[in-house]
Structure 1
Amino acid sequence: MNKTEVIERTAEYARETLHSDSSGHDWWHVARVHRLARELGAGEGADLYVVELAALLHDISDYKLNGGDLDEGPRRAFAWLVGLGEPEDLARAVADIIATMSFKGAGTVSAMPTIEGKVVQDADRLDALGAVGVARAFAYGGFKGEPMHLPDLPPHLHASVDDYLNRQGTTINHFHEKLLLLKDRMNTPGARRLAERRHRVLEQFLADFLTEWDAGDLT
């Protein structure tokens, strides 16, 4: 099986697995991340085969949705690629990216050692910003049964992975606890440029939301 066939098979696997997701981690999220990662990776001279496979498989079993199992997603990605006949070192490179890329709390570090991992991580984080990021935040909040906003509940900047995994909050707090922090955690120049505009979209949305929440636009 050549590389094009592996990518096509992997895309179909992700599409079939995630097509019915309603949490914002669906196939179309993966497709956007795949496109962004490919473009960022080309600009950085990354190995685009590793980039594309990691982007396509990065949410095949997201720990936020599978009960908190941090190892299941990397394990499934590794098994899938080895099952297609790919060498174990390539499968391990992809699995290692998936294991490291997720945001796990304001006080934690998810540093990537490879340029391939950096561009996939950037692409995933870019899709959490901007208008799509707003929509995904509320889709995820609804999926998890979180309230949109509780004015008396302040944001909590989680200091550890366990703290973040056990978070109890609101969608508006999620902006402060994660989304607004992502702009300054981009790895590549291309991602930083895109993040500037998308970050401003988040800020404007929050300002408008809180104005309307308090009916501040009456005057």
Structure 2
Amino acid sequence: MNEQELVKQTAKHVEALFSGEGSGHDWWHIRRVWQNALKIGQQEKADLLIVQLGALLHDIADWKFHGGDEEAGPREAAKWLRSLQAPEHIITKVCQIIREVSYKGAGVDTEPSTLEAAVVQDADRLDAIGAIGVGRAFAYGGHKNREMYNPHIMPQLHASFEEYKKNSGPTINHFYEKLFLLKDRLNTSTGLQMAEERNNFMKQFVRQFLAEWHPEEDIPESFHV
């Protein structure tokens, strides 16, 4: 199977798996990550086959939906790519991207080991910020039955992946625990340029949200933007 067909068949497979998913990790999220990864990868001169396959398969079995199993994604990706008789060196590189793409807490270093992993991680993080990022945050919060906001529950900067996995705070806290931190954790100059406007919009949204929630009282210091 040639490279173009490998990407095409993988896209069809992932679309079939994730169409209609309601937590913000649906096919359209994956498609946006794929397209942004392709754009960033072209600018950064990455291996575009590895970038595209990594982007398409980055959420194929996300640990958040598989009991915290960090190897569920690489395992499912490898199984799919082997079914297409993809070369093992490609499978190894794609699985490494899947292992490295996730945010794992404010205190956890997640620097990618390859340019291709850096590109996919940036594309995934871009989709977590801006207007779409706001929408996805509340979609996931609703999916997990979380409060939108509780002024008595303060954000936490998780020191380990285990702490981050156990987090169940309100959705607004997620902005402070992850989303506001992402811009400064991007890897590529292309990704950073794409992030500026999104990051500014997201901060303005949270300021407006809190101003509406606390019209006649001070916003708790931990929620200052």
TM-score (norm 2): 0.94
The answer to whether structure 1 residue 141 and structure 2 residue 144 are counterparts is no
Structure 1 counterpart of 2:186: 186
Structure 1 counterpart of 2:215: 215
Structure 1 counterpart of 2:98: 98
Structure 1 counterpart of 2:202: 202
After TM superposition, list the pairs within 5 Å mapping 1:27-176 onto structure 2: 27-176=27-176
Give the number of aligned pairs. 216
**Letter aligned with residue 68 of structure 1:** G
Which of structure 1's runs of 4+ aligned residues deviate more than 4 A? none
CA offsets 1:49-98 (integer angstroms, 9 cap, x no match): 00000000001111112221110001111111111011111101000110
**Letter aligned with residue 130 of structure 1:** G
- Residue aligned with 2:182, SS: helix
- Residue aligned with 2:142, SS: helix
Q: Report how far residue 5 of structure 1 moved.
A: 1.1
RMSD of aligned Cα (Å): 0.8
Once residues 25 and 66 of structure 2 are traced to their aligned partners in structure 1, the CA distance between those partners, rounded to angstroms, is: 12
Once residues 118 and 176 of structure 1 are traced to their aligned partners in structure 2, the CA distance between those partners, rounded to angstroms, is: 23
Structure 1 counterpart of 2:26: 26
**Letter aligned with residue 156 of structure 1:** Q
- The answer for unaligned runs of 5 or more in structure 1 is none
Once residues 4 and 97 of structure 1 are traced to their aligned partners in structure 2, the CA distance between those partners, rounded to angstroms, is: 20
- The answer for unaligned runs of 5 or more in structure 2 is 217-225
Percentage of pairs with the same residue? 50
Once residues 59 and 20 of structure 1 are traced to their aligned partners in structure 2, the CA distance between those partners, rounded to angstroms, is: 15
CA offsets 1:133-155 (integer angstroms, 9 cap, x no match): 00000000000111000001110
Q: Report how far residue 23 of structure 1 moved.
A: 0.6
Structure 1 counterpart of 2:7: 7
Structure 1 counterpart of 2:222: none
